[in-house]
Structure 1
């Protein structure tokens, strides 16, 4: 059942003027749960939390990150792009309105606000949002068979890369399911989490382009060999291309970003913190956990406790600390998957 049918929807009010927040919160509080943020940075954190809002009322002119930039960042993030954003602003020249709508906002409300207009617009866009979620659910049901077939093809492509690397083909199946569980735990919609699950097995598809002499070397790689190995992320992106498919677009992002590290020491671009796409940060944890707890020709399987301890030790270094906590809190589901897909 949709959460909007069992509890009040949550509206995030973002404004750097406390008086404006008080006015909007007062208008909304009887009908909605209200969260507030006094600047763009706090708004991004609140929206990316495990309990994201259902709709955002966003001021445009703020110190630091302005409303346009907040909107832009949320709309390029697969886990937050579906949340409707209404700009609330005195800045309402036609070019400003066009800019906001092009960034993905659904509406504008002018200041000083009219309570009746605010309630009407919020009600309308929440209804559209819930309708779209229901349509997404029905589409997912109707296309499940196609999705299952697509997943099998993608898994086989991922397994081709894993076999070159002397890894079991079950690795890509397990890690894709781990990815799905973690994606849902972050607040990602079921539709986007399912798309990420389908895309995740292609994370290392670029290994197809790495010589077997390097992939299957038993000893430590020398510097030249390691530099060749590092290219597999970009090779994967080239293989996956950029043809407009949402799933392949996510797969390409994952291939490029799942070896980046939270502290900036990863590759290929040395991205740091939230500059690393969330889908890459999610897959990184799922991939490493399964690799550690699996038998490989060159190592024994680590125990679950040992693997979890490594995730804790690398929290804030290799891995996003928030995602590590969410993964650990989802461990019961993870272990069911691990048991289900042995081999």
Structure 2
């Protein structure tokens, strides 16, 4: 006996990826329903070898459905998640709306699976920010060994993190660079993204940090340990899929780079590719379409006591969003919603 599953936002980048991963991982679903806004009503989306026609989320009755995977943004989630939850359907939400709610668990299954039990308070589980998700997968096993004091992270985030419009803007600007008279002015991003790097993701806050940078700080504390100090600089780069991060970690105890490498090789969700030779590391283009969080360039940082540097890459549409949500659904099913 399987689950009845709803995918809300099924026509977007993340929603489509959720449907793909549900099929790939053979999630035990007796029924999968694709929901979208009224303007996308009837749009066909793929689920394994099946084709689903989207239904209108407005007025949809979630009664009798077990899990709803939400990829519809914060404003729509604010409207529809409480409705689904009140009708007995557990919401796994990919927006930022509930991440900082103390009554809503923020889950990365490889990192804090026990927090799943907290879903009962609101029948909602939050998915972390894409840049946070891959980082905490790499950091948690090292924290367990040597206790992290401080993290300094710089991200290099792909345009797919800004949705289809971001991908289109990079594509059109790149083409326009070679065709006189067809230059494309920025609309989705603050500056030209083609052949450029933009040190702003999301809006600026009073502190001078952007909202994306603030998310990484707060979410890392909630998922791993509130005592960890985190500072982030988030940069948008002209890459279609895959986020990369340069991470500097300061520990309470000494951790040798070789031991760190061995720990990460044994850690769930992590693949270490770390050869000290040209090309002996993973870049976003190799991570695209893959489930793993890749770690490379692990080395001591001699400028601080007990410091390490590492390079972390992952597919932001998968581990940063859709895959993590499906893994949360699997965890929920195995621990809390067992059937059969």
TM over 0.5: no
TM-score by length of 2: 0.27
Between Structure 1 and Structure 2, the one with more strand by share is: 2
Larger Cα-atom Rg? 1
Higher relative CO (Cα under 8 Å, sequence separation at least 6) belongs to 2
TM-score by length of 1: 0.27
